[in-house]
Amino acid sequence: MKDLTTGKVGKQIFYFALPMLLGNVFQQLYNVVDTIVVGKALGKDALAAVGASFPLIFILISFVVGIAMGSTVVISQYYGAKKMDKVKKAIDTLNIFMFFAAIFLTFFGRWVSSYIFKMIDLPEGATVQAVNYFNVYAFGFIFFFGFQGTSAILRGLGDSKTPFYFLIISTLSNIGLDVLFVFGFGWGIQSVAAATVIAQGIAFFAIEYYLNKYHSFLDFNPRKMKFDKEMFRKSLKIGLPAGVQQTFVSIGFLALYRIVNGFGTSTIAAYAVAMRIDAFAALPAMNFSAALSTFTGQNIGAGRMERVTTGLKVTMAMISVVALTVTALALLFATPLMHAFTNDPKVIEVGIEYIHIVSPFYLVFSSMFVLMGLLRGAGDTMFTMIMTIISLWVIRIPVSYWLSQLFGTQGIWWGIPIAWSVGIIISTLYYFTGRWKSKALVKGK
């Protein structure tokens, strides 16, 4: 556990973000390896099926992940205020919630999957494979939520390293099982999902065994856990807007897929690959944002507002360097990146088009995400929810649809940086109003 209320601001944020960044790089390798194996071994329809599955997966997990984000803020603010009894209540309550949410979503997801894929007009050849992939993948929700809940708890307590170590084990297991199942045994798309489920299970059981053995305060013992209604209410106060935000984002991605699907299987497959590349490009922003969120929560809990302002400045400086570097690499290596996933020339052509349009705006996206991280850490999740909904549903989806009618696939892609640009302008103006400073759950000393 790490106290982020004292010490050098830039150094603390960097070293807190670094393990999360590396851990999420490994976690993204889950998706990348799945995509490469599917694209190279199982073909274009299977590649489109895996790509189309992720918006549905995101819809199902997004609300729960949002609640976990709220719990991270609650835990970090109480930890900064040194109220350890309340920290323990928040931890138990989050664990119980995540367990029952996972059980419900597993069965619900399997029930609605085929209807969702038909609703977004996924081509028939890809629909069957998408259902097969998703229905196996859903059995891993119990492990995914368990690991994500534990990671959220540890981040709130200032520990970003422990989840990273276990993600490495999980990712290496996933890569090995993917290769064994598909190339070794010749199994189909369901085996790719099974590999991910097994790897997630390994990560969850390993981290819980470690915590039970070496950190008695975080003892994961269901028989001793108690659900605290008041603590859950407080977590919902912050986490509910975050959960709604994540849900609207995931539904928005599904709506975008409906626009993309109108341009055929090659465009769907290209978009699936481009999203994997985008996911890697977004990782620095997401993890520095998460680090700043925990840093902000702890320092607001301790009454150190001057450190919050300094934290934003140094995080913006660091992420600017990273974002510009990632943009340069994406533009320089766009062609070999697409070739790594598929041999289909049309898929490669459309994917390169996407990268050339979107990647120059990674700095805009990164700045917006970092600013949102500070606001979440302060407890102002209502604004971040509203801003995300405006950026996606008022700007990105309508603009992408309208431009797609005029310019084809290029129009879809241009809707993305336009929405980011509007988002950073509005978020910056709101930050300077200072209203976010009054949203803290725990009032500092």
Every domain of the chain and the residues it spans: 9-438
CA–chain centroid gap for 295, Å, is 19
The pair of structure tokens assigned to 296 is: 């902000």
pLDDT tens for each residue of the chain, 445 residues long:
566 677 888 888 898 888 878 877 776 776 677 777 887 778 777 877 887 787 788 788 877 877 787 777 787 778 777 787 788 888 888 888 889 999 999 999 999 888 888 887 777 778 888 899 999 999 999 999 988 888 877 777 777 788 888 888 888 898 899 889 988 888 888 998 899 899 999 989 988 888 777 766 666 677 778 888 888 888 787 777 777 777 787 788 778 888 988 888 888 888 888 887 888 888 899 889 988 988 888 888 788 888 989 999 999 999 999 999 999 999 999 999 898 888 889 989 999 999 999 999 999 999 999 999 999 888 887 888 888 889 889 999 999 999 999 999 999 999 999 999 999 999 999 999 988 887 666 655 5
> Contact at 8 Å (CB) between 287 and 8?
no
Task: Kindly state the greatest CA–CA separation across the chain.
Answer: 62
Residues present in the chain in total: 445
Cα within 13 Å of Cα(3), Cβ side? 10
Indicate the pTM of the whole model: 0.71
3-state percent breakdown (helix, strand, coil) of the chain, nearest 5: 85, 0, 15
Nearest Cα to Cα of residue 286 among 144, 98, 155, 126 = 155
DSSP string, 296-310: HHHHHHTT-HHHHHH
Q: What secondary structure, in 3-state letters, does 364-405 show?
A: HHHHHHHHHHHHHHCCCHHHHHHHHHHHHHHHHHHHHHHHHH
Residue burial 259-286, b: 16+ Cβ < 10 Å; e: rest: bbbebebbbbbbbbbbbbbbbbbbbbbb
